[in-house]
Structure formats: structure tokens, C-alpha cells
Amino acid sequence: MGIEIKNIYKRFGSLTVVNGVSVDIADGEFFVMLGPSGCGKTTTLRMVAGLETASEGQIFINGRDMTHAEPRHRDIAMAFQDYGLYPNMTVFQNIEFPLKIRKLAPAERRRKVEETAGRLGISDYLGRKPAQMSGGQRQRVSLARALVRNPKVFLMDEPLSNLDAKLRAVMRTEIKKLVTDLGITTIYVTHDQIEAMSMADRIAVMRKGDMVQVAPPLQVYDRPATCFVADFIGSPPMNLFKAELANNGRVVCQVQGFGDALDDAERERARAMADRHGHFAVGIRPEHLQCVAAGTPGSVEGIVELVEPLGQTTNIYLLSGDTKYVVVTDRTSLRAGDTIGVIAPGDKVRAVGLDR
């Protein structure tokens, strides 16, 4: 059950936009596809919706092969980035439209529209036209229209990216709560890592048409599969240092002190993921690096280049040899030009594979 995507491709002429994506999405799961623009996430979603046809591969929705079905036969709902409301209809008529097509009795339609509008807090606007509403209200209408017919599957294409930051945070929690309460299988497309981290049961990070990593949010954060994932998630992103395996099995790293901090398990992983020349990367989250006094045993010496106080945390940009990286700490009296020691705790240092 749920949604099963089997090895789908989408090609436009010689351009391959989706490159053999396969994934099983469980019933009731909140699945987020995350990636930069042009990575194929929206195209993948639109193929599930039936708005694009797959060049190759199959899509199963609730166990039925829907690869070539018309959108209207798939029993899905969708929310669009620009809301996709019918500008000629009032809010009430917008939400009612899918019910009207299903030929529900007028009284039943009215009851359902009012119930759904109430749940989304737009009961007061039922008589308005979309043009008379704010972005947040419009997105609520589009959600109401999607939810009013109790869909099994809900597809969302960057529904919050046209809203301001504050409203986005509010809508994020609302959407998550709504679809979780209703138990709807959801595929959510976004380029915003915070949305992905906060809402997803599982995140699929996409790059150039490939799903690079599919895992629960914290696992994606803690154990990024490739340098692309490590760099895309986290703000500031994970520090990555070039490394390779020497013939004797030793790790040679751009900042040797950090390479030496890899524990045995990570070394083992590094061996498995290193490319045919033995290259990989050593990754450390900025908040896991610790600043100590210069010369502390086991520390790497670094020169402070820039201190960026953000209030809650402080970013310290460091230079070791000719390698730049960043440490996130609490408030600090360090200033540019200071020399300090940096320690990478062994259990926080990761081996990260290179991207193809």
C-alpha cells in the first residue's frame, strides 16, 4: 500500500531530469523530497500526480499501477506553490468543486465544505474570491480543497515557498498536524531544509535526477550519505575535508588531525564508500567542533578569520593551513587573528562519500 515508485525516468529530448528513481512510501507516511531547483523533485511529484508521463518505469498508488492513468483517476489531492485556485470562483465554490464533480448532494457538499473550512480556519472567508485574500489564506483554501474529499494521497509542491518566514513556520506545523491526524500518505516537495527536517518521517535528498539518500531526518543530518547531502543540510553546512586511503590503510586528510579522529567504525565505512582511487571526505558538523586553548594535546591549530555573532550562537570561521572551516559555539571573546586549538570528538566525525 502507499506509493511505490519503480525505477522511473523522465527525459526531455536528450535531457534526463529524473534518472531512475525508486522508492516505497508507506501508508500514512510523510515523505519529503528535498533538493535544489532543477534536481527533479517536482518532476517526480508531477509524475506521481499524472501531470507528467514517465518516460520509463512504473508508479503504483495503493497497490494499483497508475503509471499511465489520467490524474483524475488516481484519487490524489495536490497543493501547488501558486495555490492553483480557480480565480473565477468564491472560496466556497473552490472547495466545493471536487465534491460537485463527484456529484454529491448539495446539502452534503455544504456540510463538508463548512467542516473543512472550519478545520483550516477560513470559515469567515467563504464568500470571497481568491484575489481578495492573502497568500496564507489562499494556501489554506487550496489545502481545504485538497482535503475536502478525504484523499488517500496528498501531494504538495512547495506549498509554503510563496509565504513569508513567520507564516511559513506556522503553516508548517499546521500542515504536519493536519495530515498526520488524518493519516494521509503525503509526498512533500521542498528546497527548504527546515521544512524537510521538521515535517518529514523520511527525507529523500535529490540531486541531478537521483535520490542520493532516503532516510529519517536525523539520520540524514547525522550520517549524510554524500558530500552533496552534507553540504545541503545544516546551516552552516557540515565541514568537509578531502581525504583518501593510503595503501597501508591509513587515512590521509586535508587536516590530518581531523582525519585521525575517525573511529574504527567510520574507517570501515570509509573503506566501503571510497571511490576507486580511495578518495572520500571527512565530515564534521560545525557545532561538534570544540574550541580549546592553542597547543592542547590532540587539538588542531587554527587561526580565527572572522567571528559572526548571531545571538543564539556564534559562527567562528577558522583557517588551518590553507583549509577553511567553521565552528559554531556559544558566545565568545575570540577575535580575528587569534590562534586557538580545535578538537573533533571521535564519535562525531563522519566518513562521507563523494558524489558521482
Chain contacts with other proteins (rule: CB under 8 A): 49-51, 70-72, 74, 76-78, 80-89, 97-98, 101-102, 131, 142, 145, 149
Alpha-carbon dihedral angle through residues 315, 316, 320, 323, given to the nearest 10 degrees: 40
Nearer to other proteins, 95 or 300 (CB): 95
Residue 160 Cβ, how far from other proteins at the closest point, in Å?
15
Q: Which residues, including other chains, have CB under 8 Å from residue 327's CB and lie 6 or more apart?
A: 286, 287, 289, 290, 291, 315, 316, 318, 342
Phi/psi at 70 (5° precision)? -65, 150
Nearer to other proteins, 53 or 88 (CB): 88
Nearer to other proteins, 190 or 320 (CB): 190
Q: Are 265 and 306 in contact (CB under 8 A)?
A: no
Residue 149 Cβ, how far from other proteins at the closest point, in Å?
8
Nearer to other proteins, 99 or 251 (CB): 99
Amino acid code (one letter) for 41 = K
Residue 189 Cβ, how far from other proteins at the closest point, in Å?
14
Nearer to other proteins, 43 or 142 (CB): 142
Residue 143 Cβ, how far from other proteins at the closest point, in Å?
12
Phi/psi at 302 (5° precision)? -140, 150
- Cα four-point dihedral sign 180, 184, 185, 187: negative
DSSP H stretches of helix in 21-128: 41-49, 91-101, 106-119
Residue 173 Cβ, how far from other proteins at the closest point, in Å?
24
Residue 95 Cβ, how far from other proteins at the closest point, in Å?
10
Nearer to other proteins, 35 or 98 (CB): 98
Q: How far apart are CA 203 and CA 132, in angstroms?
A: 36
